[in-house]
Chain A
């Protein structure tokens, strides 16, 4: 990251780089962001670069660049908290509440204006564009996204991850890791709005091999819906859940309003 950081300006509008730049690895990231480090470590985090810019009235802008090892994981960590409007920076971005987040190649970038104010917000965006230019390499989104049916997909609600921590955060399934998720599993969670309040939820998990996928499927059925017939069951809230296995790909449809919608969504997944 060194060469790229050297080309990032020491001053942005009225904010001047303050103090020494810091670099954190997987051992030291906790010292910087405490429990927040677990998010990055749940992906392929390698290193973080941090620079603080001091500005008027003790305001600060904090730039953090995370090397996530792969473009897929940079995309993943970006999607883990995505909820704001697109800022059109990098390969995917959002800005809200003074925080700019974007990903590009294997880098995930956050720039935070911690004091508020329109001028600082503009500086954040300007710095974001500069960092974007300093990071020339792009990279592909995870392959697994290609399996998602496109019709009705809420693109802001796509989450890519590996670990159960992220599934817990976005869609609690069970207290134990019933799907056997871990560093080797690729997962995509996606939402398909049905109306203002409800969405059909689709979870795809790609395992290392069909044996692990089959074990996870069987364990999920045993723990979550032992009454299922052909992987399909009606839940207590009258919505339907369907699980299906195709070699090493496990598909689970949650919150389907009726049986047919669950079946249709499962069939629409591109294998």
Chain B
């Protein structure tokens, strides 16, 4: 039997859900979903950014450590990282160099510091974005750590954990059809499959609306001072979508709150590709640190 196409009316039928929940609770609209629960850590600290948006690297390191400790249920940052990274691992830290909102170097360094502390040799660590197919460490990587900022995206709806792996593709436009619905396929590529140990989505200054050829408009970036951390990229992206939707609701009101285009990739990664959990009701979101303006 042909699967029924999701329509706008399915959203209307979900009227019991709050507007904020509609976009985030995508898979509740469908019949089948991943059964296991996923865990996502949200940590925020007021002092991590100053008035000039300069990052306090020490606070950021503490945030990362606390988040990974909570995720791995360890009481020490080194133990937490040692539970996901072995000393003999070759580790590619997949960053994002997008000019307008790159992965903060302070965050790259924080991750690398812990990978080194886990016993990995310096020469077995690389940080890269657009040349990952050609870099020796990424070519022989046994472990990947995915580190990037959250933003809305003209084509995909949002640019989160899954979208960050698009540079592992030989032909990126292959992943653009149907508003990037099949981004989860990136996780089946030989250089990626089964290797990702951690996803760190920077929500220090997320972008909640995009405009212009480069998708950037500084009016739509806000200081949220946080990190989203998890091992399930679909769950992290689902929480990220909920956050962006909540911010849009706050700024634009109900009518414009939904992220457009509809971010099909999150639901498809769960239902179609079984990569992770998209249903916000099946995600254990652990909130640490600063609570003011948390939105979700």
Chain A positions near chain B (C-beta within 8 angstroms): 30, 33-36, 38-39, 64, 81, 83, 96-99, 101, 110, 112, 114, 116, 165, 168-176, 178, 197-199, 223-225, 235-237
Q: A165-B179, A168-B179, A236-B15 are in contact. Are A223 and B7 (CB under 8 A)?
A: yes
Q: List 12 A-B contacts (CB under 8 A).
A: A30-B173, A35-B176, A36-B215, A38-B176, A64-B213, A97-B217, A165-B155, A168-B261, A168-B262, A172-B261, A225-B9, A236-B9
Q: Are A169 and B5 in contact (CB under 8 A)?
A: no
In terms of DSSP, what is the predominant structure of the interface of chain B?
loop
Q: A99-B212, A236-B15 are in contact. Are A35 and B154 (CB under 8 A)?
A: yes
The distance from the CB of A210 to the nearest CB of chain B, in whole angstroms, is 25
Near A by CB (< 8 A), chain B positions 179-218 give 179-180, 211-218
B170: interface (CB < 8 Å): no
Q: Are A97 and B255 in contact (CB under 8 A)?
A: no
Partner of B12, one of A38, A39, A223, A237: A237
Q: Are A165 and B261 in contact (CB under 8 A)?
A: yes
Partner of A112, one of B6, B176, B212: B212
Residues of B within 8 A of A35 (CB): 153-156, 176, 180, 215
Residues of A within 8 A of B156 (CB): 35
**Cα distance A174–B253 in the bound complex, in angstroms:** 23
Residues of A within 8 A of B154 (CB): 35-36, 38-39, 169
Q: A38-B176, A170-B260 are in contact. Are A33 and B214 (CB under 8 A)?
A: yes
**Cα distance A199–B254 in the bound complex, in angstroms:** 12
Q: Are B214 and A112 in contact (CB under 8 A)?
A: yes
The distance from the CB of B52 to the nearest CB of chain A, in whole angstroms, is 13
Q: Are B153 and A110 in contact (CB under 8 A)?
A: no
- Nearest residue, chain B, Cβ from A116: B218
The distance from the CB of A96 to the nearest CB of chain B, in whole angstroms, is 7
- Nearest residue, chain A, Cβ from B211: A81
Q: Are B253 and A197 in contact (CB under 8 A)?
A: yes
B135: interface (CB < 8 Å): no
The distance from the CB of A97 to the nearest CB of chain B, in whole angstroms, is 4
Please give the number of chain B residues whose Cβ is less than 8 angstroms from any Cβ of chain A in the complex. 37
**Cα distance A64–B127 in the bound complex, in angstroms:** 31
**Cα distance A38–B262 in the bound complex, in angstroms:** 16
The distance from the CB of B173 to the nearest CB of chain A, in whole angstroms, is 6
Q: Are B5 and A223 in contact (CB under 8 A)?
A: yes
Partner of A175, one of B7, B15, B212, B220: B7
Q: Are B8 and A174 in contact (CB under 8 A)?
A: yes
- Nearest residue, chain B, Cβ from A115: B218
Residues of A within 8 A of B217 (CB): 96-99
**B100, B153, B213, B262 pick with most chain A CB within 10 angstroms:** B213
**Cα distance A114–B173 in the bound complex, in angstroms:** 26
Over the window 93-107 of chain B, the binary record of Cβ atoms lying under 8 Å from chain A Cβ atoms (1 yes, 0 no) is 000000010000000
**Cα distance A225–B211 in the bound complex, in angstroms:** 33
Residues of B within 8 A of A81 (CB): 211-212
B172: interface (CB < 8 Å): yes
B264: interface (CB < 8 Å): yes
The distance from the CB of A71 to the nearest CB of chain B, in whole angstroms, is 19
Kindly list 4 other residue pairs between chains A and B, CB separation below 8 angstroms, not including A168-B179, A173-B7: A97-B212, A172-B261, A199-B255, A225-B9
**Cα distance A13–B245 in the bound complex, in angstroms:** 40
B13: interface (CB < 8 Å): yes
Q: Are A174 and B214 in contact (CB under 8 A)?
A: no
- Nearest residue, chain A, Cβ from B209: A83
Partner of B214, one of A36, A170, A225: A36
Over the window 255-287 of chain B, the binary record of Cβ atoms lying under 8 Å from chain A Cβ atoms (1 yes, 0 no) is 100101110100000000000000000000000
